[in-house]
Chain A
Amino acid sequence: MSRTLKRILLAAGMFAIGASAAGAATLDDVKARGALNCGVSQGLPGFSNPDDKGNWTGLDVDYCRAIAAAIFNDPTKVKFTPLSAKDRFTALQSGAVDVLSRNTTWTMSRDTTLGLNFSGVTYYDGQGFMVRKSLNLKSVNELNGASICVQSGTTNELNVGDYFRANNLKYELIAFATSDETVKAYDSGRCDALTSDQSQLYALRLKLTNVADHMVLPNVISKEPLGPAVRQGDDQWFDLTKWVYFAMLNAEELGINSKNIDQMAASNSPEIKRLLGSDGKFGESIGVSNDWVVRIVKHVGNYGEMFEKNVGTSSPLGIARGLNNLWNKGGVQYGMPVR
């Protein structure tokens, strides 16, 4: 019996290693695999959230779909890996995912010592606090002595420390490994306040028992530029992920959306022609076909569409564009020119 077993195990070991051997460049791997491995959060409405059937939706999810659309002309060729805040970087470093699109704050230490490259800022955010309306609070500074729930291993955890110390406020920080646990603890009254990026607070609010009893305080205590990240050392892949993001911004700026994309493809504007690939070989320079932007916009939409669909005022989250508006409309989203 044990001999048979040993043989089976040996075989199992072999295929496990043999089947997963991968080449050098991420783009080649992705193409060979026929799918993009995308690391997302474990469940955050508006950003990445699986429904009961396991279909993922959200802003972070759509960004990965856009990459898949650019590469394969098929936004479904993405495998989503839900990652906790704790294991997200290791997952990216070890190659378990090709791109980490998991509302991750762009910080210097992550960009340098953690070996990441941030491809852009898909959502400008800031850290906020959610409290019960019954507390009648107006500002974060009234939270002296409060218990605060936070997800462990996030910048939020560090920001609270900095802010409260700087303002001479006392607090008790209770850190949980997943956002589900954190919300649950806040909901059950273990904490007076729940802190996270404001966008997340709006999303997490939907998970509370009585949504109407809670409010997000207006103060923002940090800058949280959230964006997708890739591994250092693969410039081609870094470029591709960066330009998918810029392309979506440029498409919005030029008025190209998923509905008018076919008319726009025939446009005479040199800018549009360059973006949509009828002029120049910009797609090839990042390793995809020249009509890459057409594919992205057709399947996923431009940045504005992506925002509105997932987190905008018409979505359950109802977040205003604010900072995330285009640079010429009062925001700071600025697509680098395709030229």
Chain B
Amino acid sequence: MSLDTVAYVAPVDLRPQEPAPVSTRGAYGWARAHLFGSIGQVLLTLFGIWVIYVVVPPLLKFFIFDAVWTGTGRDACLPETVGRPVGACWPFIAAKWNQIIYGFYPEAERWRVNTVYFFGAALLLPLMFPKVPYKRLNALAFFGIYPVAAFVLLTGGDLDLRNFVLGWFGLDLGLASAGGLRVGFWLQFLIVTGIAVGIGMLVCPFFGGERRSVAKTILKTFAVIGVVLLVVDIDLGLVPVETRQWGGLLVTLVIAVTGITVSLPFGILLALGRRSELPLVKYASIIFIEFWRGVPLITVLFFATYMLPLFLPGRFTIDGLLRALVGVALFASAYMAEVVRAGLQAIPKGQYEGAMALGLRSGLMMRLVVLPQALKLVIPGIVNNFIGLFKDTTLVLIVSIFDLLGILRAAFTDPSWATPTTLFTGFGFAGIVYFVFCYGMSRYSMALERRLDRNRRH
């Protein structure tokens, strides 16, 4: 029986394969699938194009084509004097530029702010790209040296420290001062160091530590504290600049960056505390975290500005910006704790068990095995947290600190720039600044996330 006689088998070879129908391939196919596959699709596409038409050209017209680019006062931006419809009034931004970037920082001292901006960028950028070498050194410079240097540069340093621990208990060694340094203060510092080493050596058996190494660690810690205190205390001849003269982008960045750097260690501690087996530690952490997460940031700022001073002993006065920073740090720590906790939870149990099997104590296990992995996992989360914090810094204008938005809003009331388009120009400019920062960071965090995902799949 030959194949030819079987009715259900094709008598000839298969016909050559035909190309896919024109409606599913090429540009046409793509457009059909994505733009006008059905009547509904067509309507949606038309609607979308209409929306774009309504939104985009007027924006371009306003911000670029009809905009005024040069001028020195409101007359330059009034349609009556210009003789045509007027869009964005960019000279307004130019006139307020210095305030937007520096606030009321004294003109002669602005190089200090510029230096801080420059080194911030120069240290942060290489830190952000995984391929650049010297990560440890770079991180140390950015997280260790830079904040102190920035602090001294921005405030002027020369804090004139009087008391260290002992002084708060009423022991004032009020000795003479030289070069902006008080002898009494440093005597106190040395005494306290001695006491701390003593206590450390006394209690170290509790934690299974060795006396010598504990003493060494404490000494090292105090040496670092000492160096930092020395740097901020010494008179470098910089003119002091009050924080109330700061403003604009400077304040926005100072609050956001301080908030995130301070919240990181506290967040880690809180996250570890929340996972602790000791009920008191656990519940204290939970209450702290949930409290600050449960209330709006404004009430936290109100708390820091109005209530905190009442809680501090005697007549402590805290600078207004520092108060806001305390509020922001409390708030950010609670959120950071939750981010870190997510990272801790993502570490497989095997890692803990492996570390324990190696005989690591719980502290070492956390420090050497769990945290490094967990923190790496949560870097995108930290960046997202930072974006949130960056947006939240605008709230400080409610407790009368002039951040970027606050400066702009104050500028809106300047009658010498009152034009119909001033408001839109200001909002447009601030919107672009916020968008560039936040969008850039969110892209970065997404890229990191993808990279981490890839690495994990190995």
- Interface residue ranges, A against B (CB under 8 Å): 1-2, 4-12, 14-24, 29, 37, 42-43, 50, 52-54, 79-84, 87, 90, 93-96, 177-178, 180-181, 183-184, 187, 206-209, 211
Q: Are A29 and B398 in contact (CB under 8 A)?
A: no
Complex CA–CA separation, A23 to B167 (angstroms)? 12
Complex CA–CA separation, A87 to B399 (angstroms)? 8
A8-B147, A22-B317, A53-B106 are known; give 10 further A-B pairs, CB within 8 A. Answer: A15-B159, A18-B167, A20-B319, A21-B316, A24-B315, A42-B400, A94-B309, A95-B309, A96-B318, A187-B418
| Contact status of A180 and B409, CB under 8 A, knowing A21-B316, A23-B315 | yes
The residue that B104 contacts in the complex, of A16, A50, A180, with Cβ under 8 A, is A50
Closest approach, in angstroms, between the C-beta of B177 and any C-beta of chain A? 13
Q: Which residues from chain A contact B412 at a C-beta distance below 8 Å?
A: 184
Does B113 reach chain A (CB closer than 8 Å)? no
Within 8 A of A (CB), among B286-316: 305-306, 309-310, 312, 314-316
Q: Are A14 and B164 in contact (CB under 8 A)?
A: yes
Task: Give the most central of B244, B312, B400, B418: most A CB within 10 Å.
Answer: B400
Complex CA–CA separation, A20 to B323 (angstroms)? 13
Q: Which residues from chain B contact A80 at a C-beta distance below 8 Å?
A: 244
Q: Are A90 and B104 in contact (CB under 8 A)?
A: no
Q: Are A19 and B265 in contact (CB under 8 A)?
A: no
Q: Are B261 and A5 in contact (CB under 8 A)?
A: yes
Scan B169-183; emit 1 where CB is below 8 A from any A CB, else 0: 000000000000000
- Closest 6 interchain pairs by CB? A94-B309, A54-B104, A209-B418, A22-B315, A11-B228, A95-B315
Closest approach, in angstroms, between the C-beta of B391 and any C-beta of chain A? 20
| Contact status of A180 and B322, CB under 8 A, knowing A2-B264, A82-B244, A94-B317 | no
Scan B244-288; emit 1 where CB is below 8 A from any A CB, else 0: 110000000000000001101100100000000000000000000
Q: Which residues from chain A contact B147 at a C-beta distance below 8 Å?
A: 8
Q: Are A20 and B316 in contact (CB under 8 A)?
A: yes
Q: Which residues from chain B contact A183 at a C-beta distance below 8 Å?
A: 413
Sampled A-B contacts (16; CB under 8 Å): A4-B224, A7-B225, A8-B224, A11-B229, A18-B161, A18-B162, A21-B162, A21-B168, A22-B316, A22-B317, A43-B410, A83-B400, A87-B305, A87-B306, A206-B415, A209-B418
Q: Are A1 and B228 in contact (CB under 8 A)?
A: no
Does B221 reach chain A (CB closer than 8 Å)? yes
Q: Which residue of chain B has the shortest Cβ distance to A5 in the bound complex?
A: B265
The residue that B265 contacts in the complex, of A9, A177, A181, with Cβ under 8 A, is A9
Q: Which residues from chain B contact A81 at a C-beta distance below 8 Å?
A: 244, 320
Q: Which residues from chain A contact B392 at a C-beta distance below 8 Å?
A: none
Complex CA–CA separation, A18 to B371 (angstroms)? 33
Does B449 reach chain A (CB closer than 8 Å)? no
Q: Are B144 and A4 in contact (CB under 8 A)?
A: yes
| Contact status of A4 and B143, CB under 8 A, knowing A15-B229, A23-B315, A53-B107 | yes
Closest approach, in angstroms, between the C-beta of B258 and any C-beta of chain A? 9
| Contact status of A82 and B400, CB under 8 A, knowing A5-B264, A90-B306 | yes
Closest approach, in angstroms, between the C-beta of A222 and any C-beta of chain B? 26
Complex CA–CA separation, A17 to B285 (angstroms)? 24
Closest approach, in angstroms, between the C-beta of B315 and any C-beta of chain A? 4
Q: How extensive is the interface on chain B, given as a class?
A: 35 or more
Complex CA–CA separation, A82 to B414 (angstroms)? 18
Q: Are B268 and A95 in contact (CB under 8 A)?
A: no
Complex CA–CA separation, A34 to B232 (angstroms)? 20
Task: Give the most central of B225, B322, B410: most A CB within 10 Å.
Answer: B225
Complex CA–CA separation, A43 to B312 (angstroms)? 30
Q: Which residues from chain B contact A43 at a C-beta distance below 8 Å?
A: 410
The residue that B140 contacts in the complex, of A4, A24, A83, A96, with Cβ under 8 A, is A4
Complex CA–CA separation, A44 to B100 (angstroms)? 21
Q: Are B139 and A1 in contact (CB under 8 A)?
A: yes
Complex CA–CA separation, A79 to B312 (angstroms)? 22
Closest approach, in angstroms, between the C-beta of A339 and any C-beta of chain B? 34
| Contact status of A11 and B265, CB under 8 A, knowing A18-B167, A94-B317, A95-B309 | no
Complex CA–CA separation, A16 to B245 (angstroms)? 19
Q: Which residues from chain A contact B309 at a C-beta distance below 8 Å?
A: 90, 93-96
Q: Which residues from chain B contact A12 at a C-beta distance below 8 Å?
A: 151, 228
Scan B409-423; emit 1 where CB is below 8 A from any A CB, else 0: 110111100100000
Q: Which residues from chain A contact B107 at a C-beta distance below 8 Å?
A: 53
Q: Are B168 and A17 in contact (CB under 8 A)?
A: yes
| Contact status of A22 and B163, CB under 8 A, knowing A10-B225, A53-B107 | no
Closest approach, in angstroms, between the C-beta of A294 and any C-beta of chain B? 29
Does B242 reach chain A (CB closer than 8 Å)? yes
Q: Which residues from chain A contact B317 at a C-beta distance below 8 Å?
A: 20, 22, 37, 94-96
Closest approach, in angstroms, between the C-beta of B245 and any C-beta of chain A? 6
Complex CA–CA separation, A208 to B99 (angstroms)? 21
Q: Which residues from chain A contact B319 at a C-beta distance below 8 Å?
A: 20
The residue that A8 contacts in the complex, of B144, B164, B312, B398, with Cβ under 8 A, is B144
Complex CA–CA separation, A207 to B416 (angstroms)? 9
Q: Which residue of chain A has the shortest Cβ distance to B160 in the bound complex?
A: A19
Q: Which residues from chain A contact B163 at a C-beta distance below 8 Å?
A: 18, 21
Within 8 A of A (CB), among B380-405: 398-400
Does B148 reach chain A (CB closer than 8 Å)? yes
Q: Are A19 and B398 in contact (CB under 8 A)?
A: no
Scan B73-107; emit 1 where CB is below 8 A from any A CB, else 0: 00000000000000000000000000100001011
Q: Which residue of chain B has the shortest Cβ distance to A211 in the bound complex?
A: B415
Q: Are A11 and B225 in contact (CB under 8 A)?
A: yes
Complex CA–CA separation, A87 to B301 (angstroms)? 12
Complex CA–CA separation, A43 to B148 (angstroms)? 33
Complex CA–CA separation, A23 to B317 (angstroms)? 11
Q: Are A15 and B315 in contact (CB under 8 A)?
A: no
Complex CA–CA separation, A95 to B309 (angstroms)? 8
Q: Which residue of chain A has the shortest Cβ distance to B326 in the bound complex?
A: A16
Q: Are A1 and B159 in contact (CB under 8 A)?
A: no
Complex CA–CA separation, A208 to B164 (angstroms)? 52
Within 8 A of A (CB), among B170-220: none
Q: Which residues from chain A contact B413 at a C-beta distance below 8 Å?
A: 180, 183-184, 207
| Contact status of A19 and B159, CB under 8 A, knowing A7-B224, A53-B107, A81-B244 | yes
Q: Which residues from chain B contact A15 at a C-beta distance below 8 Å?
A: 159, 161, 229, 232-233
Closest approach, in angstroms, between the C-beta of A40 and any C-beta of chain B? 11
Q: Are B245 and A6 in contact (CB under 8 A)?
A: no
The residue that B400 contacts in the complex, of A11, A29, A52, A178, with Cβ under 8 A, is A178
Q: Which residues from chain B contact A10 at a C-beta distance below 8 Å?
A: 225
Closest approach, in angstroms, between the C-beta of B187 and any C-beta of chain A? 14
| Contact status of A54 and B164, CB under 8 A, knowing A11-B229, A180-B410 | no
